[in-house]
Every structure is written in C-alpha cells, then in structure tokens.
Amino acid sequence: MDRVAFSIFGIDVMWYGVLMATGMILGTLIALKEAKRVGIKEDDVLDLAIIAIPIGLLSARLYYVIFNWEYYSQNTSQILNFRGGGMAIHGALIGGILTGYIFTRIKKMNFLKIADIVIIGMPLAQAIGRWGNFINGEAHGGPTNLPWAIVVDGVKVHPTFLYESIWDLGIFIFLWIFRNKKQYEGQIIVYYVTLYSLGRFFIEGLRTDSLMIGPLRMAQVISLIGVVGGIVAHIYLSKRKNKVK
C-alpha cells in the first residue's frame, strides 16, 4: 500500500500522519464528552489537549532519538525530522502525563480526576495509529507460519501492530464500560497504564525493531515498571480512599 495518502502543493501527506491525527482528534473528542459527563469544564480539557499533544509528539520523537543516539549524534540535522520516521509511544505518554500534572497544578485542579478524563480515549487513538505501522511495513515481529502472518520483504512475520491494535481497542472498551464503576480518582489511568504495559511487554518480545538499552528491550523495561507501578498505585489509592465525588 502506498504510504502517501495525498499531496498538498507538492507536499506528500503520509497515511501514518493521517491515522495519528485521526486518533488524536477522536481521543480529544472522547475526553471532552467525558469531561461534560463528570462536570469538568470542557475548555479546560481542550486547553490541556492543545498543550499536551504537541509536547507529547515532541517527547515521542526525543525518546526515539535518545535510544538511537549513535546515529543521531552523527546526524543532528535529522533529530527533529518527524517526516523521516521514528517515534515512541512511551515518550509521548511520559511527556503528556508530565504536562498534565504541571497543567493541573497551575490550574489548581485534581490531577487524577483530569487524568482519568483525558486518558480514556488514549487506547483508541493508539489502536488507530498502529495501522500506520502496517502501511509503513514496520513494527512487525519475527518469522512465523501462523495463518494470520503478514508478508514483509518476502518473509511471513508476526503482525505485532495488529496484536497491539486489538489489545488497545480491548482496553478502550473495558475502560469505557468501567468508567461508571470506578471507586477512586485515578483508577482509569492506573488501569490503563497497567493493562497497556502488560500487553506491550509480551508483544514487544515478538518485535524485531525494539529500542535497546544494552541487552534489554527498553519498551519491556518501561512496561515492567508500568505494571508494578500500576499495581502499587492501585493499592495505595484504594487504601487512601480517594473516593469519587
């Protein structure tokens, strides 16, 4: 499939970018809908999205660059070349969450309550964005003879983009149903981090293009931290009885 969706004034617009933008727009609309439901000003959520999305994109790029520094240290002009490819969802999450924390502190808002609102559409955005990897022929796994394998460069491989897309969609459906039953502020983001990290850990083990830190796959290290951190946060927040108001 052609990576180019369309061209504007001679500039190619890639499917990857179109799918990412679609996911971010849907995620923002879902957050606005959730904000209205729980009585939070939609303008505050929109203001946060306007700030957090570009910072998240920049963080996703810088995260990727850091773990490919051997190349980028010799090609510094490519560091901010987003069109050249290379972004990492963990970088986006770290940047976005930190931005949200600072934003809510300045606005004197409940960070956990806002985080629950904003994060609920995130797995849906990820599920959509992963199809950009399919179009680019990237983020796939190693060789397999499974009936659902895809062919990349003449080799049948694991469609890890598909595994994660399905997992992310499942997380979104679960969180959307569960959101009316949460027992404390922050439960949605805690469940998201835990569930996403759990799935990503196993899926990452199948990929052939992992960012590495020594002999370790960085995404698996971060995922382990996410799972453990999520469990600890759940226990702590449950005991603190940070009840939903």
d(CA 128, CA 164): 10
d(CA 155, CA 158): 10
d(CA 182, CA 214): 40
d(CA 210, CA 109): 37
pLDDT given at position 12? 86
Q: pLDDT tens digits for 105-128?
A: 999 999 999 999 999 999 999 999
pLDDT given at position 149? 96
pLDDT given at position 3? 84
Lowest mean pLDDT of 64-73, 97-106, 115-124, name the range.
Answer: 64-73
List C-alpha distances in Å: 221 to 20, 145, 205, 216.
Answer: 25, 28, 11, 7
Lowest mean pLDDT of 71-80, 101-110, 227-236, name the range.
Answer: 71-80
**Per-residue confidence band for 84, with pLDDT thresholds at 50, 70 and 90:** confident
Contact 112, 18 (CB under 8 A): no
Q: What share of the chain is helix, strand, coil (3-state, %, to 5)?
A: 65, 10, 25
| Residue labelled with tokens 């226990």 | 235
- DSSP conformational letter for 1: -
CA within 13 Å, CB half, 143: 3
pLDDT given at position 244? 56
**Per-residue confidence band for 232, with pLDDT thresholds at 50, 70 and 90:** very high
pLDDT given at position 154? 92
* Mean pLDDT, rounded, of the chain: 93
Between strands 155-157 and 150-152, the pairing is antiparallel
Q: pLDDT tens digits for 149-196?
A: 999 999 999 999 999 999 999 999 999 999 999 999 999 999 999 999
pLDDT cut 70: percent of the chain above it: 98
